[in-house]
Structure 1
Amino acid sequence: MTANVAVIGAGPAGLVVSRWLLSQGLQPSIFEEGSSLGGQWTARLGRSGVWPGMHTNTSRILTAFSDLPLDGDLVFPSGTDILDYLHRYARLFELDSRIRFGVRVDAVARAGQRWVVSHDGIDEHFDRVVIATGRFHSAFVPPVPGLDTFAGSAGAITSYEYRGPSPYRDKRVLVAGCAVSALEVAADLAAGGADRVVVTQRRQRYVLPKFVAGVPSDHRMFTRYGALADEALPAAEIDRQLKEIVVESAGSPEQYGAPRPAESLFAAGVTLNQNYLPAVAEGSITIRPWPQAVDGPTVKFGDGHTQEFDGIVFGTGFTLSLPFLADDVRATLNLDAGKFDTDRHTFHPDLPGLAFMGMWDQSGGYFVPLELQARWIAYTWGGMIAPPDHAQQREAVAACHSLGPRKTRMNLAAITFARAAGVEPRLENWPGLRRALLFGPLAPSCFRLEGPDALPAAAARFAREAAAFGAITDNDLTGRERSYWSDVEQARAQAHPTVSGK
């Protein structure tokens, strides 16, 4: 009997997991609260943090799935382009007819060996459930004394509610936060006619432009080499190498007039943004320490400075919110304690038949790791690969619990899921693509080279994508690349002297 699967959410995660579930003969039914597919990319107020006119900060090649390239000349497509892409993807795999629009799921609970999905007073039973509702819907606003008294004419909102600079023209705006949403909003306001833009932050991050010397930064920052090095080299060396990429690309923030960040990039953090630091350098954006208090329109900062504002926008991140999960499921995952105890963000051994998509926090684009996570789920449930070992799963869950919520990088997530799905390409099988596989972009095509669902045309496509912006045009490592890779090979050989590395 064919297993039926409830997929909660029709954004990128829900669509890609449904495509791969179908490939394994499972039958997904997609529940979508909104009136159209696309998730965040619908740009609908209250359901999306994407504002009209916003462009991706991830490159076209890495903002696509392996079956359907994102065509066009734009390196960084608009939100409208991504929404159109998702509609084309859904049509390609005939997913539209499987989506139930306007259905709000009220509860997901266990029912013996199966699962029950409750909505509109109806209980439906499924063999399995995938939660793909996204983790960027519940904006977090840190407590600031007196914030509830703020009396600026434009009010205080979160970046999730921001819909462009027009309401802030000729107004004084405070943007709180130092991660990507805060810097994107601040740069948008500075270019969009705000009278004054002030960014308040607890610490100064390094800032990496999204495009440097004709190459998208996500092609340089999120490589397979970076994932292998992270496993083999000391953390201090990984920190040094990543900081080297960032500082060689953009310099350090204090060179633009921003505060000096911590020496360690891991301690300071890094944010991707093209226009923020230049706006600081020209005075379009001013930086202040974190607020101590708000009194009417006046904000007092940590340095004692006070200033009046017409509006405040908080770009201070999101909390994971899955209120429809039954209490026992929430307890197993430790959700109410602010954790998400899972095996590699996906399964829990005590919750058979339940899987999660896209619930981790990372820097870099989600499309590539989302597809790999979807393939892992589909291959496991479809019997293509062996299910995870329960003892190893419990070790992974315990490690997750011990570490708690933390941010990762796109390449680390992608390689984790690729290995779980059995689709990580081996270097020795692709001598002509060795440099591209190590130091080129982590394009979706490289995960169709071997393993389940390998494609004959994948090698040629990956070679084109690696060379698309001139970063990887041959197979000879540069001197720096050779030195870096030699250190990783030596460390891997010492750790596993009898096992040849991938």
Structure 2
Amino acid sequence: MIESVAVVGAGPGGLVAARWLLSQGFDVSVFEAGPTIGGQWSGRRRASGVWPAMHTNTSRILTAFSDLEHDTDVFPSNRDVLTYLQRYADTFGLTERTRLNTRVDVVDREDDLWRVEHAGSVEIFHRVVIAIGRFHAPSIPPVPGLDTFTGSGGAASTFAYRGAEAYRGKRVLVAGCAVSALEIAAELAQSGAAHVTVTQRRQRYVLPKFAAGVPSDHRIFTRYGALAAETLPPAEIDRQLREIVIEAGGAPEQYGAPPADPSLFRAGVTLNQTYLPLVAEGRIIVRPWIDHVDGREVTFADGSSEEFDAILFGTGFSVDIPCLSDEVREVLDVDDAHIDTDRHTFHPDLPGLALVGMWDQSGGYFVPLELQARWIAYTWGGVLPTTPVEEQRESVAAYRARRGLSQKTRMNLAAITFARAAGVEPSPDRWPDLRRALLFGPLAPSCFRLEGPDALPDAADRFARDAAAFGAVVDPDLSPREREYLSMLRDAQSGVVAAG
């Protein structure tokens, strides 16, 4: 019997999940609320935070799936990404399986099956994948007096931003220090805003997305970094990451921004190419967080105040999965920031349900999304055994124990977690010519086709090319820093082995 699967959402997560489920013989139907595939990359108002001039801050190699490469700039435009996703859907027969303009209202259990309600209709499926995305419910923190703001440009989330033209000649306050806030502040400062101020609770480190000819996601999201996170003390990992960031982009205070916390983990890091140089030129002013608003006047925590015509909040997103029934929501214990799952994917009390792309992360999502999709498809298709229920419960309990703490993870940690679950993590020792690249090179999707299910005969050549595209990581000789880091890692691993 061929089992049916409903995939809710036709963004990157839904499409890659559907592709791999089809490869395992499932009968897949993709439900998309909008008139086109692409999710956030569709750019649709009220459904997407993508604006017309936006480019990715992840390189084309890491903004792709393993079966289809980009043919575009190093950092694709949003239109390039949408075109890529449409090409992906056509290539793998997903277009004809996608029901556009079909919003799923309820997903609920029906005995051992799953009920999907949409537009007054009900369909029963053997399994369901929720892939509606993590970033569509913007969160604006409470600010005293914000409701009194009278600036002509209003106060809104950066999710609603559609370009600098509406702010030409205006004094704009951008609140936040993550990607959208800094990207939009930089665009406004270069595109005709009269004055741009950024207000933030803390100063983050800012890493240029391209430095010395190398995309920064190739530098900081490596397999070595994932291994170090498992073995080295957190303070040492913190030191190493900060060292890489400072060397590539300098410290914020060197540009005239406030100093960041000495700990990169506490401060955080954002990728942006032009923000700090614009601060250095005085074209962006940095202030502490907002104390209160009164009409057009905003007073900051240091007592200073300015008048503004518009306020844009780039202050994150809440978890929002409106299609889940109350019963399913209760099992997952969904709130504004958390979903109880085993490695962001399964729950032991909800067999036949999987979530895709519903975790908070720094770095690009395409590579870990595909690995998560393969884990789901291989598990449901019988290629891999289902994780024992007790192990799933332990994973959920470990997640629950961290509630209230930051749940943001790094792209490389998510990718390696899913690669191991899918049985496709490559072993550097089996690939001596690629060993350095597998440790210190980019986590390109091609490296996860070297071993395990669906390994490809040309994967080694493809990965060597991907790794060499922006640096000499295929050179067998380690750099002095790489030797230092690898020696430290080996010593720590030996200590773990000895202790065991």
Partner of 2:346: 347
Distance 1:90 1:498, change over 3 A: farther
2:361 aligned with 1:362: yes
Deviates more, 1:327-336 or 1:97-106: 327-336
Q: Please give the secondary structure, in 2, of the residue aligned with 1:108.
A: strand
2:282 aligned with 1:283: yes
Once residues 493 and 333 of structure 1 are traced to their aligned partners in structure 2, the CA distance between those partners, rounded to angstroms, is: 39
Once residues 316 and 9 of structure 1 are traced to their aligned partners in structure 2, the CA distance between those partners, rounded to angstroms, is: 24
Structure 1 residues 441-460: aligned runs within 5 Å: 441-460=442-461
Q: Which amino acid aligns with 1:466?
A: A
2:175–2:199 CA contact under 8 A, matched in 1: yes
Partner of 1:227: 226
**Ranges of 4+ aligned residues in structure 1 off by more than 4 Å:** none
Distance 1:278 1:337, change over 3 A: closer
1:6–1:30 CA contact under 8 A, matched in 2: yes
Q: Please give the secondary structure, in 1, of the residue aligned with 2:287.
A: strand
Q: Please give the secondary structure, in 2, of the residue aligned with 1:199.
A: strand
Partner of 1:49: 49
Q: Please give the secondary structure, in 2, of the residue aligned with 1:350.
A: coil
2:139–2:317 CA contact under 8 A, matched in 1: yes
Partner of 1:156: 155
Once residues 333 and 435 of structure 2 are traced to their aligned partners in structure 1, the CA distance between those partners, rounded to angstroms, is: 42
Structure 1 residues 92-491: aligned runs within 5 Å: 92-336=91-335, 338-404=337-403, 406-491=407-492
Q: Give the drift of 1:328.
A: 1.5
Q: Please give the secondary structure, in 1, of the residue aligned with 2:156.
A: strand
Once residues 498 and 21 of structure 1 are traced to their aligned partners in structure 2, the CA distance between those partners, rounded to angstroms, is: 42
Deviation per CA, 1:120-165, whole angstroms, max 9, x where unpaired?
1111111000000001000000000111111100111111100110
Q: Please give the secondary structure, in 1, of the residue aligned with 2:335.
A: helix
Once residues 86 and 490 of structure 2 are traced to their aligned partners in structure 1, the CA distance between those partners, rounded to angstroms, is: 43
Q: Please give the secondary structure, in 2, of the residue aligned with 1:483.
A: helix
Once residues 401 and 316 of structure 2 are traced to their aligned partners in structure 1, the CA distance between those partners, rounded to angstroms, is: 22
Q: Give the drift of 1:338.
A: 4.1
Q: Give the drift of 1:498.
A: 11
1:440–1:471 CA contact under 8 A, matched in 2: no
Deviation per CA, 1:259-282, whole angstroms, max 9, x where unpaired?
011110001111110000000000
Structure 1 length normalisation: TM-score? 0.98
In structure 2, stretches of 5+ residues that fail to align are none
Q: Please give the secondary structure, in 1, of the residue aligned with 2:238.
A: helix
Q: Which amino acid aligns with 2:218?
A: H
2:356–2:372 CA contact under 8 A, matched in 1: yes
2:433–2:474 CA contact under 8 A, matched in 1: no
Distance 1:338 1:246, change over 3 A: closer
Partner of 2:30: 30
Distance 1:448 1:497, change over 3 A: farther
Q: Give the drift of 1:493.
A: 2.7
Q: Please give the secondary structure, in 1, of the residue aligned with 2:62.
A: coil
Q: Give the drift of 1:326.
A: 1.0
1:215–1:471 CA contact under 8 A, matched in 2: no
Deviation per CA, 1:234-293, whole angstroms, max 9, x where unpaired?
000000000001000111001110001111000111111000000000000001111111
Distance 1:337 1:318, change over 3 A: closer
Once residues 338 and 12 of structure 1 are traced to their aligned partners in structure 2, the CA distance between those partners, rounded to angstroms, is: 22
Q: Give the drift of 1:473.
A: 4.1
Once residues 388 and 66 of structure 1 are traced to their aligned partners in structure 2, the CA distance between those partners, rounded to angstroms, is: 25
Once residues 327 and 471 of structure 1 are traced to their aligned partners in structure 2, the CA distance between those partners, rounded to angstroms, is: 53
Once residues 495 and 305 of structure 2 are traced to their aligned partners in structure 1, the CA distance between those partners, rounded to angstroms, is: 57
1:174–1:309 CA contact under 8 A, matched in 2: yes
2:319–2:335 CA contact under 8 A, matched in 1: no
Q: Which amino acid aligns with 2:457?
A: P
Matched residues, number? 498
> RMSD of aligned C-alpha atoms?
1.1
Partner of 2:58: 58
Distance 1:301 1:58, change over 3 A: same
Once residues 205 and 336 of structure 2 are traced to their aligned partners in structure 1, the CA distance between those partners, rounded to angstroms, is: 31
Once residues 200 and 336 of structure 1 are traced to their aligned partners in structure 2, the CA distance between those partners, rounded to angstroms, is: 27
Once residues 77 and 336 of structure 2 are traced to their aligned partners in structure 1, the CA distance between those partners, rounded to angstroms, is: 37
Report % sequence identity.
66
